[in-house]
Structure 1
Amino acid sequence: MSMPEPATGPAAPARRGFATGGAGLAGALLIGAVIAVVLGVYGRVHEPARRPLYTLGFSSPLPMKAWLTTVIVLLVIVQLLTALWMWGRLPGVGSAGPAVAIVHRWSGTAAFVISLPVAFHCLWALGFQTAEPRVVVHGIAGCAFYGAYAAKMLGLRVKKLPGWALPVLGSLVLTTLIVLWLTASLWFFTRSGIPHV
Structure 2
Amino acid sequence: MLPDPFADPVPSRVPRASLLVPLLVGAGVTVALGVYGRTHPPTGIAVNLAGFSGPQTVKVWLGTGAAFFAVVQVLSALAMWGRLGGFAPSWAGAAHRWSGRVAFLLTVPVAVHCLYALGFADADLRTLLHSALGCFFFGVFTTKMLALPKPGLAGWVLPVVGGVVFTALIGVWLTSSVWYFTTFGVHR
Same fold by TM-score, threshold 0.5 exceeded? yes
CA spacing shift, 1:140–1:156, aligned 2, 3 Å: same
Deviation per CA, 1:7-64, whole angstroms, max 9, x where unpaired? xxxxxxxxxxxx9341221211111111010000000001111121233531111111
CA RMSD of the aligned region, Å? Answer: 1.7
How far does residue 160 in structure 1 lie from its aligned partner after superposition?
A: 0.9
Contact 1:28 1:151 in 2 (8 A): yes
CA spacing shift, 1:42–1:110, aligned 2, 3 Å: same
The aligned amino acid for 1:50 is G
How far does residue 80 in structure 1 lie from its aligned partner after superposition?
A: 0.4
Give the distance between the partners of 2:146 and 2:14, measured in 1 at CA.
Answer: 11
Aligned length: 180
Deviation per CA, 1:67-115, whole angstroms, max 9, x where unpaired? 111110110111101111111222x252221x21111111111111111
The residue that corresponds to 2:73 in the other structure is 79
- Structure 2, unmatched stretches of 5+, are 7-12
The aligned amino acid for 2:87 is G
- Structure 1, unmatched stretches of 5+, are 7-18
Give the distance between the partners of 2:142 and 2:177, measured in 1 at CA.
Answer: 23
Give the distance between the partners of 1:35 and 1:28, measured in 2 at CA.
Answer: 10
The residue that corresponds to 1:141 in the other structure is 133
CA spacing shift, 1:130–1:48, aligned 2, 3 Å: same
Moved over 3 A (4+): none
Equivalent runs, 1:135-174 vs 2, <5 Å: 135-174=127-166
Which of 171, 174, 182 matches 1:190?
182
The residue that corresponds to 2:33 in the other structure is 39
Structure 2 residue matching 1:57: 3-state secondary structure? coil
Give the distance between the partners of 1:46 and 1:116, measured in 2 at CA.
Answer: 18
How far does residue 154 in structure 1 lie from its aligned partner after superposition?
A: 0.9
Give the distance between the partners of 2:56 and 2:86, measured in 1 at CA.
Answer: 39
The residue that corresponds to 1:62 in the other structure is 56
CA spacing shift, 1:48–1:102, aligned 2, 3 Å: same
Give the distance between the partners of 2:52 and 2:161, measured in 1 at CA.
Answer: 33
